[in-house]
Structure 1
Amino acid sequence: MFMRNSGLIVICLLCLHPLFAQDQKASLVIPIGHTGGVSSVDISPDGKYWITGSLDQTVKIWDWNEMEIRTLVGHQKNVLTVAFSPKTQTDPDGGQYILSGSSDRSAILWDRNGNQIAKYFEEKQDVISVAFSPNGEELLVAFRNGLILILDYQCKERRRFQLPGSELCAAVYSPDGKYIAAAGSQKTIAIWKSTGGASLHTLVGHAQTVNSLCFNADGKFIASGSKDGTAILWKTTGSKEKTFKHNSEVLSVALSPDAQTLLTGGMDGVMMVWDVNSEVSEKYRCSKRELSTLRFTQDGRFIVCASRTEPKTQIRQLNGKIFKVLQGYTSAVKALALSPDGKSLLIAHADSTAKIWNMSNMAIRNLDYPDQLETVAFSPPTATDSIGGTFILTGCEDRMCRLQNIEDNTLITKIPRANQAIFSEDGQYILTGNSDGAAQCWKVGVGELNPLSHSERMVTALAFSLAPGSKAFAIGSRDGKVVFWDSLGANPITINLSNGSFSISSLAFSSDGKYLVSGLKGGSTKLVDLSTRQVVNSSQSQGLSDISAISFFPDKPGSKSKTHTILRAAGKDIEIWNTKTRAVSQFKGHISDVKSIAFSSDGTMIFSGR
């Protein structure tokens, strides 16, 4: 299917069982990196994994080799804080669970496979900090209004603390779990006993809001960073040891395990590395602004830093040199296609590349092109290729379509004067279109059959009939017209669907070839009975969002009844329209407009890209 505009990036796979289940969540997100700034980072106790929370509303799990392993989707707003569970007797390596907090006022407990275990929701306040108790038995969830809750693993409250008269900015456990420290706009730091809740100390020294707190490994020292541009090193007994002056507001602090090195991250995007004894510092620019997250790895050999303004996490050596960068694949999705056997996904990106992924979430092939791709397709099963998927067909903005062998990337042929291309259902023909309003139908291995010219305005959508033995196809254009040919260019019939008001963005045939559905800019979907050439049903997308992709729901093999249920991409949502009942169901999960969709061959999965 053909998409005209690229969007931001995410690929979701949604389960369609039962057919019209509401509020389904993405069961798999192909790793392509964060699309918003990184607000929080944590490292698993064994040092093998990282988690990042982002303003794109997701949590991502990475391994030490910079490979994104999994994306956790469940929050509805910015993820502000994340934490790994510690080592326990039942989890000797640690990291079995993940806790995340968001400005959607919820905290979610996950397992490392991405399953939600429990959720806590507070009606009025953002979640600012989360943590596991060092013994792994309890959860700490701190809210902007100063409320700190200690929860069990069912997110049931056990006890609470209140930071008096303050907007909370940070809350942490001491390494031995005996104390909880919290700070915020009150300019002071409160330290309580974690069990009974008795107040131990109030640390006074900052002139403005305290943004960040951290203990060193043995819990004898605590560091704080403030809007007043300073970081202070304290003994947890209550005495102030030293003050360090940053060049801007301090957003983040970190102490090395031995408390000999202090890191400060500022609003200016600069990290300062301080020798605590000599108070000498080195400066390193880590981001353009707002270096909001800093921490040491457990062994103290590396520094982790991230900014709310950038979708990546840096791992640096102590000398400031970048060692690794966690950023995934960050180019917009232009189009996607699923292989006939359902085992591979082909994704075209806006940086003139394509990637082939297998269903275990790993990229298995990278392909480069001279310009952005507009369409991609796998070859269907044929007499000589019973499984299908041996070839890929691409349409490129350099006005050249390419047929390639997927096994060795051999270029089989180029088709000029076209930037869109699709296979016929039997794989014997290729239909191409271009921005001049011209289209061609090609016999695979033979050459051009019928040069077609149907419109003075650009071709914007192509579709071959899915009916067995049929060679009918249709072409949509920017002027809102669809031209239908009943057999390889014979008997063209023009159907005007919008009187030039809205362009045709996508087309699809029903499995029996009797109906054609079109998606239009402006949000309209129209169903045409090809026997009468008349529009017999229509539907408007929710919120009047443009339709960017469309498809009939696959009928069950051997079924005599045709569902004529239609899948469409409408703005940020995926919608299912039952043409008989006129009911519309929605699937949510993307945070910007969906540009491409595809079904698995058995109709149980939807793939969507933005």
Structure 2
Amino acid sequence: MNDLAGVRQVDARGGARWRTCAIVLAVLLAVFLAAAGLVWKRERDRASAQERLALAHGLALHAAELRDAAPGTARDLGLAAVKIHSDGQTRAGLIDTLVGERGDELTPVASGEVALSGDGRIALTGAGDEVSVWDLTTRLDPKIVDKPDRIAVLKGHKEDVGAVALSFDGRTALTGGDDGVTIVWDLTDPAKPIRMAALAGGKTTKDAGSVLAAAVSRDGRTAVIADDDGNVTVWDLTDRSRPARLSVTRARTSSYIRDFGLSADGGGAVTVDGDGAVTVWDLADPSRRVKSAGLALPAKSAATAMSADGRVVLAGNAYRAGLWNLDDRSRPVSTAVFDVPLADIYDMALTSDGKIALLAGPSDSGILWDLSAPSGPARTAALKGYAREIDSVALSADGGIALAAGPGGVSLWDLRGLAEVVADPERAACSGNTNAEIDKADWARYAGGADWSDYGGGGSDVLAVCFISPGSA
């Protein structure tokens, strides 16, 4: 009996061990299967994310290619790209597409110079030996279908016009020609311009070279003219019919002035000469221009601009631009040097507060920059024009209106409300357009074989773009 009981006890202990082993094995198997499942899910999610990324970037690329030929399709594809995978590339692409819808052709006539009043109401475009005057209030009114033509033409130069400028209120205009003469115009009634006076760039008419740049102070009382002999002439326009020459300074011994900017009060200026040197000038006493400081980039500068308050200066060259703070004009502080996707910079413009810049060059697009954080300028959008290149740009005081001119004509941009577009391009694209759709044919054409149903297509004939979920794939 004792032997039998012992055997039974041994069997019981063995069975318990087997049950324990089975439980342990089951737990280990469950852990292994769970871990394998997690690995599989992680790999599947990673593959799905990569698929979404590739699809989104592909759609964004197609959208960019279609902006001119099919803007509606470009918008829908760009929005789908952001919905599927929102990153810097897809968002920038959608913003560029939305901004592209805000551009229009002002004139197909080639123009090398443009100017804009501070309120964006009056524009000047130069072509040959004449300058056209435009009333943009009617051009920008969406209720007006048949856009009016120019309202006046400024004539009087014997040779081509090389510079134009407007006062903030648009009532005083300057047109400078290759004949060395700058004409002062009264545009109080822009449809009936009045020629007030002619200004010589140098100390005498014979001393004046071709006018390359011109600027007028906010109140229209101070004008600064630069010519290709290197003369920078300051004029008092308090009596526009009898301007008084205040000073003439040769910026460099053997170099011309290619670009310059003027503060709103006429008390400060910045110049870029033919050698690429950037110089800040104190014009507190207009009869005695004083060089305050020199600004240097790693390479020679090609263009410059100054904010209306005279506290911000921007200068640039091929692929690079620099930003300076001029709270103390005698001691400029470099706040940023940033890369620019332009092989050269032909012209640039700043808003009154110096927080928005427009740069242009040998490209069919002007580049808008957000300078509100001086130490970190950020690209905002590309303004794709109609020209092979852009020679001249202008911004209204608040950046709401922009002009870009070149061999292909002049483009007008309505940028009012752009901040909302940049902040949330998805919302801007879907606002008032919740029916944005991509049909099966376009999906098959542009989606690279991605499964239609994974992104909300299902059994429908169209994909409602505004309702694509970022993680729907």
- Code of the aligned partner of 1:399: G
1:519, 1:549 within 8 Å by CA — same for their partners in 2?
Answer: no
The question of 1:566 aligning with 2:354 is answered no
Query: 1:77 Cα shift?
Result: 7.0
The question of 1:374 aligning with 2:171 is answered no
Aligned pairs (5 A) from 1:194-593: 330-349=108-127, 351-359=128-136, 360=139, 361-362=147-148, 363-368=150-155, 369-380=157-168, 388-406=169-187, 407=189, 408-416=192-200, 417=208, 419=211, 420-444=213-237, 445=239, 446-455=243-252, 456-466=254-264, 469=265, 471-486=267-282, 487=284, 488=286, 489-498=288-297, 502-505=300-303, 507-520=304-317, 522-530=318-326, 531=328, 532-542=331-341, 544-555=342-353, 564-570=355-361, 571-575=363-367, 576-578=369-371, 579-591=374-386, 592-593=388-389
2:280, 2:295 within 8 Å by CA — same for their partners in 1?
Answer: no
1:501-560 C-alpha deviation (Å, 9 max, x unpaired): 53432x22234322211133x232111233323433212211x421222233344xxxxx
Give the structure 2 partner of residue 237 of structure 1.
none
Classify 1:108/1:565 alpha carbon distance in 2 versus 1 (closer, same or farther; 3 Å): closer
Query: 1:602 Cα shift?
Result: 3.4
Classify 1:510/1:453 alpha carbon distance in 2 versus 1 (closer, same or farther; 3 Å): same
Classify 1:554/1:443 alpha carbon distance in 2 versus 1 (closer, same or farther; 3 Å): closer
In 1: Cα distance, 2:366 partner to 2:185 partner: 31
In 1: Cα distance, 2:355 partner to 2:71 partner: 41
In 2: Cα distance, 1:595 partner to 1:609 partner: 6
Give the structure 2 partner of residue 18 of structure 1.
none
1:480, 1:496 within 8 Å by CA — same for their partners in 2?
Answer: no
1:508, 1:550 within 8 Å by CA — same for their partners in 2?
Answer: yes
1:387-407 C-alpha deviation (Å, 9 max, x unpaired): x32231111111111102234
Classify 1:490/1:390 alpha carbon distance in 2 versus 1 (closer, same or farther; 3 Å): closer
Structure 1 vs Structure 2 CA RMSD: 3.2
Larger gyration radius, structure 1 or structure 2: 2
2:124, 2:134 within 8 Å by CA — same for their partners in 1?
Answer: yes
2:351, 2:398 within 8 Å by CA — same for their partners in 1?
Answer: no
Classify 1:496/1:119 alpha carbon distance in 2 versus 1 (closer, same or farther; 3 Å): closer
2:113, 2:126 within 8 Å by CA — same for their partners in 1?
Answer: yes
2:217, 2:266 within 8 Å by CA — same for their partners in 1?
Answer: no
* Consecutive unaligned residues in structure 1, runs of 5 or more: 1-73, 80-101, 110-115, 121-327, 381-387, 556-562
Higher-RCO chain (CA-CA 8 Å, sequence separation at least 6): 2
Identity of aligned residues (%): 19
- Code of the aligned partner of 2:194: T
1:541, 1:547 within 8 Å by CA — same for their partners in 2?
Answer: no
2:281, 2:293 within 8 Å by CA — same for their partners in 1?
Answer: no
Give the structure 1 partner of residue 93 of structure 2.
none
SS in 1 for 2:300: coil
Classify 1:588/1:470 alpha carbon distance in 2 versus 1 (closer, same or farther; 3 Å): closer
The count of corresponding residues between Structure 1 and Structure 2 is 279
SS in 2 for 1:584: strand
SS in 1 for 2:112: strand
Query: 1:601 Cα shift?
Result: 3.3
Give the structure 1 partner of residue 400 of structure 2.
604
Classify 1:78/1:370 alpha carbon distance in 2 versus 1 (closer, same or farther; 3 Å): farther
Query: 1:605 Cα shift?
Result: 2.3
SS in 2 for 1:412: strand
Classify 1:573/1:447 alpha carbon distance in 2 versus 1 (closer, same or farther; 3 Å): same
Give the structure 2 partner of residue 304 of structure 1.
none
1:198-217 C-alpha deviation (Å, 9 max, x unpaired): xxxxxxxxxxxxxxxxxxxx
SS in 1 for 2:151: strand
1:348, 1:373 within 8 Å by CA — same for their partners in 2?
Answer: yes
Classify 1:568/1:117 alpha carbon distance in 2 versus 1 (closer, same or farther; 3 Å): closer
In 1: Cα distance, 2:365 partner to 2:71 partner: 24
The TM-score normalised by the length of structure 1 is 0.41
User: Whose strand fraction is larger, Structure 1's or Structure 2's?
Assistant: 1
In 2: Cα distance, 1:454 partner to 1:343 partner: 34
Classify 1:593/1:490 alpha carbon distance in 2 versus 1 (closer, same or farther; 3 Å): same
SS in 2 for 1:492: strand
Classify 1:589/1:450 alpha carbon distance in 2 versus 1 (closer, same or farther; 3 Å): same
1:148-193 C-alpha deviation (Å, 9 max, x unpaired): xxxxxxxxxxxxxxxxxxxxxxxxxxxxxxxxxxxxxxxxxxxxxx
SS in 1 for 2:403: strand
Give the structure 2 partner of residue 559 of structure 1.
none
In 2: Cα distance, 1:552 partner to 1:434 partner: 22
Classify 1:344/1:496 alpha carbon distance in 2 versus 1 (closer, same or farther; 3 Å): closer
User: Whose helix fraction is larger, Structure 1's or Structure 2's?
Assistant: 2
Classify 1:577/1:595 alpha carbon distance in 2 versus 1 (closer, same or farther; 3 Å): farther
SS in 1 for 2:223: strand
In 2: Cα distance, 1:607 partner to 1:457 partner: 29
In 2: Cα distance, 1:430 partner to 1:378 partner: 10
* Consecutive unaligned residues in structure 2, runs of 5 or more: 1-62, 79-105, 140-146, 201-207, 407-473
2:249, 2:289 within 8 Å by CA — same for their partners in 1?
Answer: no
The TM-score normalised by the length of structure 2 is 0.52
- Code of the aligned partner of 2:198: K
In 1: Cα distance, 2:300 partner to 2:270 partner: 17
